[in-house]
A and B are shown apart, each in its own frame.
Chain A
Amino acid sequence: MSDLGYKVVVGLEIHVQLCTKSKMFCGCAVEFGAAPNSKVCPVCLGMPGVLPVMNKQAIEYAVLTAFALNCKVAEFTKWDRKSYYYPDLPKNYQISQYDLPLGAEGFIEIQLGQGTSKKIRIRRVHLEEDAGKNLHTAGNYSQVDLNRTGTPLLEIVTEPDMNSPAEVRVLAIELQRIVRYLGVSEADMQKGHMRFEPNVNLAVTRGGTEYKTPIVEVKNLNSFRALEKSIEYEIGRQLDEFLETGRLMEMGNKSTRGWDDVQEVTVLQREKEEAHDYRYFPDPDLVPVTFNQNWLNDIKSHLCEQPLKKQMRYVREYKLSDYDAGVLTAERSRAEFFEEAVREGGDPKRICNIITQDLLKLANEKGCGVAELGVPAKEVANLAQMVVMGDISASSSTLVIEEMVETQQPSQLIVEEHDLIQKSDAGELEQIVDLVLAENPKAIEDVTSDGKKSKKARGFLLGQVMQKTKGQANPKVVSEILDRKLR
């Protein structure tokens, strides 16, 4: 069976919690970690007689996201009720969108290796209300916390276009970066703002024939790691199962599995896809939503440059490495800070170094973003220019940055106070070089010899000049003088 091969096929359902102030259909605050059942009202509790009222902000966020995912945005959409009984769903139906999702037929571009990218098609994007949480605490009862009930939730469904666990992970991270850029979700995995449900199966080839294994849906994954690991596990499991039983994909034999984070295995939840009948029908309590073109255009105008586009542009325009461009574009505020500094006239590469090496370290220490350190982008640009012009050394620039974060003083002042200006005056430096040369005839001899010895002696002479100038000599200028004198 040496001709056995397989391709993994994955489609992804992603739920993204939108960061609106209030819930999808009532005025309750969206807040994580509040005391159980403290962020509720008659509407989200599904009391008799209550009616939902649509949150306009949620619609705006959803449409903006649909645009960012290159979707066609419907001009007419509506709300449907999806019926099922569960204790965390007070009305026993969820207000969702069935046959007319707000966005459809889009794509996300993801970066694979250096310079290569892939388009993952988006089947649909729709808005719905989140359910509450069932808490299975000790004892023979469960508790229900309805704080989350009614939180606006964006469901994004991709086509089965991903062919490796790594691709799925990259897509998930890219999506996180996108929604954060748009400011529509905090996308904090720990708070369950993003939840994934991959649909996984294999196309196994044997003896020139292709066999498709039954589709497995892995439920409710809330970390990138679990997402990747569970698919990796499924590949092995499905291949083994295929070799053992030869079971193939057919109508109705999709099964559902959960992810055991400790054992790192998927666990069967439902063998066959139960004939789930959600009895969708249009919610008579809500009027259909029509978007006029002006409004849509207005939303569209809020679109920012997509993070991956930005990243690729940095590489192209500023000749940054892909890695650095990725670090700069990981957060929108960081990228914007970088761009502002560039606009202020700084050298992009030098600014990138200051941000990725100095500012990022300080920001991480303080637990904030680069832009929130209190250092104006203009100052970063100034500093970068000082380094480029040779006014200060690269190592001094780190000192200046630290001082700026500490004292919020302008860079110029710090440089002057600490006397960090490099000596670049050729005449002045020439005198010092002469002095050093006079003091070290042995080194001059070594320089004129060949190979290693020469290099070492040259370095020694440069070091002597630096020492005499307390490190303030511009090494570039000193080097030139040495070159000239020793020629």
Chain B
Amino acid sequence: MVVEELSAKQLCDKIIAREISSVEVIKAIFKRIERFDSIIGAYISTFEEQALTKAQEIDEKIADGRSVGKLAGVPIAIKDNMCATFGSTTCASKILANFQAPYNATVVEKLLAADAVLIGKANMDEFAMGSSTETSALKKTVNPWDNSRVPGGSSGGAAAAVAAGLCFAALGSDTGGSIRQPASFCGVVGLKPTYGRVSRYGLVAYGSSLDQIGPITQNVSDCALMLNVIVGHDPADSTSVDERTAPVCDYLGQLDETVKNLKIAIVPQFNAGADQKVRDSLDEAIAIYKNLGVQIVEVEMPHLNYAIAAYYVIATAEASSNLARYDGVHYGHRTQSPQDYVEVYSKSREEGFGKEVKRRIMLGTYALSSGYYDAYYLKALKVRNLIRGDFTKVFETCDCIMMPVAPTTAFKIGEKINDPLTMYLSDIYTIAANLAGVPAISIPCGFDDRNLPIGLQILAPAFEEHKLMRIARMFESKTDWHKKKPPILE
């Protein structure tokens, strides 16, 4: 049996059915990591020993006929901005390079409770600030489809690991597209759930009102399986939603039910900025839905054009405050021989943070400064409300919205890193979902001329992940894009 050709769900079923042992799986996956990760660079750290111990426990449980969790034996990677007591939690930053978290994030607890095997922490843009994983201070990750190209970001390590078969599923975090864009660049599935659906407790904050943890998987079924494990209210996160107002579902159980009388909204004007091949793929995807008898409605969302501007004010403002704690006083990097306590702060931060992080801290600090608050932060919040309004209006008549994930396919390493504005523009299609708090998924929908994957983005009303994934599954069941593997696998 070729383990790496299985999906997470298939793997779990086989482990439970004792067709394969969890220990064998872990050994196989680490062999693969050893072989390929020196090229891909997906992981900042891996935990083979702990993984084997956990795998053994799971095998014993199964052998004893005891019940096991929904992800029994599935090797999973998590982005290195989620706290776990094993290994370090670095956020790909020098300032936290040796930071050992004293607690587990809620999602980590949930994965462990579901008997998943955490095999490593994935590379990312420093503090999730970036769209290419190039701002990582600790590691370089390449796109498995083309090693000269970026995997996208900021959850680039996680997406690359799933695409290259270096894990069976992963958790990323998405503040402005950081799950969906790398999923698109790497040809895998990535879901940003509704804000408040998944606990943020233990996710190192970037933009607190935008951050959301979500799965990166090989296909929509695995995505539903992962979501089943991580959703739910968390008393430790005041912004996680009460399940009485927004009940959670069995996302996997109803996945294959097609959505009746489906009405899809498209925003033609907004898509004009995307590459021709990206637009063509979107059109082809829409055509497939049309063939299923779905109604397509052209809509206008006039405020989406302001999404990037609003996002880079709100996210950086929150970041400037969230990252204030990295000061060399209590934990993390501390400068050598400071002259006084002010230097402990200034030098530790100067040495510990990378360029992009500093840029965003300064942007955010400026936006919150007295005299500028109203002109920037407050105005951005107003724009955010208008964007929410655009979504509300569309969802009054349509079930979902479809648009590209990114204007381009994976770009060259180094191509945009010195041009932050161009880099920021690559988030143009993903940011709105974060500002509005709605769920959005990226699923593979084609390839460009260079054999680089293209993603289709589907956005749904808040807390309608069940419908969102069923709509995604309708497409997936009619296409083979998600089954394509990067050449590295051959």
Across the interface, do A47 and B235 meet the contact criterion of CB distance under 8 Å? no
Query: If the complex has contacts A47-B103, A47-B331, are A284 and B324 also in contact, measured as CB distance less than 8 A?
Result: no
Residues of chain A within 8 A (CB-CB) of B43 are none
Across the interface, do B324 and A93 meet the contact criterion of CB distance under 8 Å? yes
Nearest CB in chain A to that of B99: its residue: A48
Residues of chain A within 8 A (CB-CB) of B81 are 49
Encode A36-47 as 1/0 by CB contact (under 8 A) with B. 000000100111
Encode B77-91 as 1/0 by CB contact (under 8 A) with A. 000011100000101
Query: If the complex has contacts A51-B236, A53-B238, A287-B238, are A83 and B83 also in contact, measured as CB distance less than 8 A?
Result: no
**Cβ distance B126 to chain A, nearest Cβ, rounded Å:** 13
Query: If the complex has contacts A42-B103, A285-B238, are A51 and B201 also in contact, measured as CB distance less than 8 A?
Result: yes
Across the interface, do B324 and A85 meet the contact criterion of CB distance under 8 Å? yes
Chain A interface size, under 10 / 10 to 19 / 20 to 34 / 35 or more: 20 to 34
Residues of chain B within 8 A (CB-CB) of A277 are 369-370
A390 within 8 A of B: no
Across the interface, do A47 and B341 meet the contact criterion of CB distance under 8 Å? no
Across the interface, do B239 and A48 meet the contact criterion of CB distance under 8 Å? no
Across the interface, do B324 and A91 meet the contact criterion of CB distance under 8 Å? yes
Residues of chain A within 8 A (CB-CB) of B330 are 45-46, 90, 144
* B238 partner, pick from A46, A48, A54, A92, beta carbons under 8 A: A54
Residues of chain B within 8 A (CB-CB) of A52 are 238
Across the interface, do B325 and A90 meet the contact criterion of CB distance under 8 Å? yes
Residues of chain A within 8 A (CB-CB) of B236 are 51, 53
* B325 partner, pick from A46, A279, A284, beta carbons under 8 A: A46
* B82 partner, pick from A45, A47, A49, A51, beta carbons under 8 A: A49
Residues of chain B within 8 A (CB-CB) of A279 are 320-321, 365, 368-370, 373
Across the interface, do A51 and B83 meet the contact criterion of CB distance under 8 Å? no
**Cβ distance A396 to chain B, nearest Cβ, rounded Å:** 61
Q: A142–B102 Cα gap in the complex (Å)? A: 24
Residues of chain A within 8 A (CB-CB) of B204 are 48-49
Q: Which of A128-185 contact B (CB under 8 A)?
A: 142, 144
Residues of chain B within 8 A (CB-CB) of A85 are 324, 327, 345
Residues of chain B within 8 A (CB-CB) of A45 are 330
A67 within 8 A of B: no
Q: A51–B236 Cα gap in the complex (Å)? A: 7
Q: Report which residue of A47, A48, A51 has the largest number of chain B beta carbons within 10 angstroms of its beta carbon.
A: A48
Across the interface, do A53 and B235 meet the contact criterion of CB distance under 8 Å? yes
**Cβ distance A173 to chain B, nearest Cβ, rounded Å:** 37
B203 within 8 A of A: yes
Q: A93–B369 Cα gap in the complex (Å)? A: 14
Across the interface, do B91 and A281 meet the contact criterion of CB distance under 8 Å? no
Residues of chain B within 8 A (CB-CB) of A286 are 238-239
**Cβ distance A247 to chain B, nearest Cβ, rounded Å:** 26
Q: Report which residue of A83, A279, A286, A287 has the largest number of chain B beta carbons within 10 angstroms of its beta carbon.
A: A279
B220 within 8 A of A: no
Across the interface, do B368 and A49 meet the contact criterion of CB distance under 8 Å? no
Across the interface, do A49 and B238 meet the contact criterion of CB distance under 8 Å? no
* A48 partner, pick from B101, B237, B341, B345, beta carbons under 8 A: B101
Residues of chain B within 8 A (CB-CB) of A48 are 83, 89, 91, 96, 99, 101, 204-205, 325-326
**Cβ distance A275 to chain B, nearest Cβ, rounded Å:** 8
**Cβ distance B324 to chain A, nearest Cβ, rounded Å:** 4
Query: If the complex has contacts A83-B321, A284-B318, are A49 and B369 also in contact, measured as CB distance less than 8 A?
Result: no
A87 within 8 A of B: yes
B46 within 8 A of A: no
Q: A415–B250 Cα gap in the complex (Å)? A: 78
**Cβ distance A359 to chain B, nearest Cβ, rounded Å:** 47
Query: If the complex has contacts A87-B329, A285-B239, are A50 and B201 also in contact, measured as CB distance less than 8 A?
Result: yes
A195 within 8 A of B: no
**Cβ distance A1 to chain B, nearest Cβ, rounded Å:** 42
Residues of chain B within 8 A (CB-CB) of A81 are 321
Residues of chain B within 8 A (CB-CB) of A142 are 341
Q: A286–B82 Cα gap in the complex (Å)? A: 20
Residues of chain B within 8 A (CB-CB) of A90 are 325, 329-330
Q: Report which residue of A46, A49, A144, A280 has the largest number of chain B beta carbons within 10 angstroms of its beta carbon.
A: A49
Q: Report which residue of A52, A92, A142 has the largest number of chain B beta carbons within 10 angstroms of its beta carbon.
A: A92
Q: Report which residue of B236, B238, B239, B365 has the largest number of chain A beta carbons within 10 angstroms of its beta carbon.
A: B238
A contacts, CB < 8 Å to B: 42, 45-54, 81, 83, 85, 87, 90-93, 142, 144, 277, 279-281, 284-287
Interface CB pairs A-B, < 8 A, 23: A42-B102, A47-B83, A47-B101, A47-B102, A47-B103, A47-B331, A48-B91, A49-B83, A49-B105, A51-B201, A51-B239, A85-B324, A87-B329, A91-B324, A92-B327, A93-B321, A93-B324, A142-B341, A144-B329, A279-B320, A281-B373, A285-B208, A287-B239
Beyond A49-B89, A83-B321, A277-B370, 13 additional contacts (C-beta under 8 Å) are A45-B330, A49-B204, A53-B236, A87-B341, A91-B324, A91-B325, A277-B369, A279-B368, A281-B368, A281-B377, A286-B238, A287-B238, A287-B239
- Nearest 5 pairs of A and B residues by beta carbon: A92-B324, A284-B209, A284-B208, A279-B368, A48-B204
